[in-house]
Amino acid sequence: MGVLGVCLKVCGWFPVVFITAVVLWSYYAYVVELCIFILLDRSIPLMLLYLVLYHIFLVLFLCAYWKTIWTSPTKVPSEFYLSSSELQQYEAEDRSEEKIEILKSFVRDKRLPIWTRTYGGGMRYCHICKLIKPDRCHHCSVCNACILKMDHHCPWVNNCVCYNNYKFFVLFLFYTILYCFFVAITVLPYFIQFWQGNLGDRAARKFQIVFLFFAAVMFCLSVLILMCMHTHLTLTNRSTLESFRAPVFRHGPDKEGFSRGSFCGNFKEVFGDEKKYWLIPIFTSKGDGVSYPVQARDQDSDRLLEGDMESDIGSGPETEDRDAGKKGIRESIKTSTTYSTMNSSGVAEGGNRDHVTLHMDKGEGAQVNLAIEGDSTR
């Protein structure tokens, strides 16, 4: 890393230092100036209540912020990287169509669980990291790495917001709003007293209270907008990047491609199944960051349109959700029935047990297999 790289790395911490400085100042203004210097003389129970609640909100906010900053993105698994021989083969080819076919053959051979494509229909490949990008993975130019389920690179946390820390980031926004709202609402009466001239004579203290109120309201409103946006993204199972540019599947670009079909399902993909962990900044997101359940028609169209990809279906991540998706597209009706056939005179000739298996595949094509085992009559 050159001098420029070191300078950029150091500069990357400025927004974090700024936020930390604002929090430290707000701590002084709230705890010392408001609670100790103003409230101590007026109401000790109120002061204690404010101090306890303030510290609870502060700790929750700092924990989420800390985890968002210091949770490093997981590295892309080694099987997605091209080996030296594969890289040689890929780079020796000049024709773009052939390059696409080479990458497709790597995906097939390695049985990589990939559903997304480029706009041209090829595999998504990172020329910098020399890897086939897993679904929802993007190259971050700031981190200079491919990041799993990359949402965006956030300067305020000097880190990529991605699969590993997205829950922490949303909690960070949530607790920032709670912290700022609590400060604003409890400082409001003293802010009003300032304008009425009832806040004492010390000018520095009065301005601390006024600035504390303005800062809390300003941060609360600006983060609220961001929180609304990320709530929508969480509930629809999209990343910020995907909301600007829809992921491309076999059937084309589709913003809903990774949706679990319900707000609840999408929420649980980020926050996990257990409610008790939802508000705590510990990692509970589902999956491995590499493979994602996709809408049924993608799996189905992959299988129907390209026979040689069939193995991918079986080799894909065998999660419960993926199995559930398969059930959604395939209705296997197995019946075992005993019946009698009637002769022309209307007399039952007798029957036996037959097995009828009916597979119905819905998708871009349709396929019905009807298999009857055994003789229907004897």
Among 19, 31, 49, 140, interactor with Zn ion by CB under 5 A: 140
Alpha helices in 131-202 (DSSP H): 166-196
Subset of residues 141 to 160 that bind Zn ion, contact rule: CB under 5 A: 142-143, 146, 153, 160
Of the pair 75, 110, the CB lying nearest Zn ion is at: 75
Cβ atoms of 333 and 363 within 8 Å: the answer is no
What is the rounded CA–CA span in Å between residue 133 and residue 80?
Answer: 7
154 is catalytic: yes
Both tokens of 218, joined, read: 């300003």
Residues in CB range of 4: below 8 A, 6 or more apart: none
DSSP-assigned beta bridge partners for residue 336: 355
Cβ atoms of 219 and 180 within 8 Å: the answer is yes
Of the pair 39, 160, the CB lying nearest Zn ion is at: 160
Cβ atoms of 292 and 331 within 8 Å: the answer is no
Contacting range for Zn ion; rule: CB under 5 A; set: 20-28, 84-92, 134-142, 339-347: 134-142
DSSP-assigned beta bridge partners for residue 373: 355
Among 128, 188, 279, 348, interactor with Zn ion by CB under 5 A: 128
Of the pair 10, 204, the CB lying nearest Zn ion is at: 10
SS3 118: coil
Element (H, E) at 87: helix 84-92
- Give the shortest CB-134-to-Zn ion separation in angstroms: 11
Edge-to-edge strands of the sheet including 367-373? Answer: 330-338, 353-361, 367-373
What is the rounded CA–CA span in Å between residue 261 and residue 114?
Answer: 20
Q: How many residues bind Zn ion (CB under 5 A)?
A: 10
Both tokens of 260, joined, read: 């679990």
Instruction: Give yes or no for residue 53 binding Zn ion (CB under 5 A).
Output: no
Q: How far is CA 287 from CA 34, 211, 234, 319, in A?
A: 46, 44, 15, 8
Among 110, 130, 139, 251, interactor with Zn ion by CB under 5 A: 139
Instruction: Give yes or no for residue 241 binding Zn ion (CB under 5 A).
Output: no
Element (H, E) at 281: none
- Give the shortest CB-152-to-Zn ion separation in angstroms: 8
Instruction: Give yes or no for residue 126 binding Zn ion (CB under 5 A).
Output: yes
Which of the residues 154, 160, 162, 180 is marked catalytic?
A: 154
Instruction: Give yes or no for residue 123 binding Zn ion (CB under 5 A).
Output: no
DSSP-assigned beta bridge partners for residue 140: 145
Contacting range for Zn ion; rule: CB under 5 A; set: 108-116, 124-132, 289-297, 319-327: 124-132
- Give the shortest CB-163-to-Zn ion separation in angstroms: 13
Of the pair 59, 128, the CB lying nearest Zn ion is at: 128
Contacting range for Zn ion; rule: CB under 5 A; set: 62-70, 139-147, 241-249, 268-276: 139-147
Of the pair 72, 222, the CB lying nearest Zn ion is at: 72
Instruction: Give yes or no for residue 129 binding Zn ion (CB under 5 A).
Output: yes
Give the footprint of Zn ion on this chain (CB under 5 A): 126, 128-129, 139-140, 142-143, 146, 153, 160
Instruction: Report the catalytic residues.
Output: 154
